[in-house]
Amino acid sequence: MQFCDECGSMMHTEGDSWVCRSCGYEERRDDAAEEAMTTTEGQSDDGPVDMSDVDDTEIGPTTKARCPNPDCDGERARYEMKQIRAADESETRFFTCVECGKNWREDDN
């Protein structure tokens, strides 16, 4: 990915040049510099990862959390935090009970 030296916008390839569609700045492409760039071209999406053979201790961190499943007395859960709302709001916490596998989430209200 190349960014414009004039305005900072992302540049696009057109033939043997990088062209800024915002301000019109052009720059000659450099094969050596482009070789070091990472692209998604040729990569495949193999789908979801099968975690069934992975030991629970290798899956990630756990915390003390009471499982909301009324049939489970679990008090530990694996957790993951993701930013799914606006950047100025707190992350959402996703939990999975280590006893029964129930999933739930918590948001700050």
pLDDT for 28: 92
pLDDT in tens, 31-63: 888 888 777 676 666 767 666 676 666 667 888
- Classify the C-alpha dihedral 22-2-84-109 as positive or negative: negative
Q: What pLDDT does residue 72 have?
A: 93
Question: 27 pairs with which residues across the strands?
Answer: 18
pTM for the complete prediction?
0.46
At 5-15, the pLDDT tens digits run 889 888 998 99
Quote the pLDDT of residue 68.
Answer: 93
- Please give the domain boundaries of the chain with CATH numbers for all domains: 1-37 (2.20.70), 56-106 (2.20.25.10)
pLDDT given at position 20: 93
Q: Of 50, 58, 104, 55, nearest to 79 (Cα)?
A: 104
Whole-number pLDDT of residue 104: 92
Tell me the C-alpha distance between 109 and 89, whole Å.
Answer: 10
Longest dimension (CA), the chain: 65
Question: For residue range 75-96, what is the model confidence (pLDDT) as tens digits?
Answer: 999 888 888 777 787 888 889 9
Q: Give the pLDDT confidence of 14-32 residue by residue, as tens digits.
A: 999 999 999 999 999 988 8
